[in-house]
Amino acid sequence: MRLEKSFSLPVFLSVSLHTLLLVLFLGDWSFFKKEPEPYKPHYVTATLVDLKPKAKAAPQQTKEQVLDSKAYEDLKNNKKQDEQRRKEAEVLVQQKKEQEAKAAEAEKVKQQKIKEEQAKIAKAKAEKEAAEKKRKADELAKQKAEAAKKTKREQEAQEEQRRIQAALQKEAKHISDTNDDVNTKSYEEMLIERVQQNWSRPPSARNGLEVVLEVNMLPTGVVTGLRVVRSSGDAAFDRSAEQAVRRVDRFTEAMQIPPDIFEKYFRVFRFTFSPEDLRS
């Protein structure tokens, strides 16, 4: 409502002014005219003036136009300031981006150096550990080789000792067997001599007959067993041989035989009888 009132008055004034101008233009205004007076010549005093055109004065603007121009200038200034601030802000943003890029590049270089240093340290550590591991492995291998050599030397020494012992035992056995054979033969001869003293050859004895008797004795010489191992085929000849052994009753000579020789040769002893001679 207030808006309608504010526009109605100017419109009314404008319409009234245009109506008045129309009336004045169409009306007859001759009665207002005066009679022309006779022309009087005028004398003009001439003065030399500067013909250089003067700058036209700027048309006077209305208050509203002045205000609009000022607002326009302010707007232009504001736009310039905004543009300046925008450019400054862009410069600052660009500078910030450049600084951040430089900082990022510097950080990247720093991290790369750190990584390279860490890799260098890790490599040196790995090489040191590998060298230490190799040294320990070489030392262990050397120790094993020395131990193997020592074991081999010990085994060779033991084997040599066993060979020496075996040789000594063999030699001792040979000597013992030789001595045993000699002693055994002498002991056999003593026993055979006792049997020969108690043997009576039967009339049926002839060349070619042979009987083998097996006698079991105690170390005291007592006979504990007697049997025919191989018969001559002549019963009388076999009985005569058995009777010859039984008549001895006890071989006191056996008490002179060393226990080991007795156990080996005389605990079970064989007599061989033949008509030609009695032999063991």
The tens digit of pLDDT for each residue in 77-107 reads 888 888 888 888 989 999 989 999 999 988 9
| In contact, 229 and 214? CB cutoff 8 Å | yes
Mean pLDDT of 55-59: 57
> CATH number for the domain including 262?
3.30.1150.10
pLDDT recorded at residue 216: 92
pLDDT recorded at residue 203: 83
pLDDT of 258 > 70? The answer is: yes
Provide the domain limits for residue 236.
179-279
Q: Cα torsion for 135, 136, 139, 141, to the nearest 10°?
A: -110
Please state the pTM of the whole predicted model: 0.35
Residue 194 lies in a domain: yes
Residue 225 lies in a domain: yes
Task: Give 212's pLDDT tier (boundaries 50, 70, 90).
Answer: very high
Angstrom CA distances, 28 to 8, 37, 161, stand at 33, 22, 174
Residue 154 lies in a domain: no
Task: Give 280's pLDDT tier (boundaries 50, 70, 90).
Answer: very low
How many domains are there within the chain? 1
Task: Give 68's pLDDT tier (boundaries 50, 70, 90).
Answer: confident
Residue 255 lies in a domain: yes
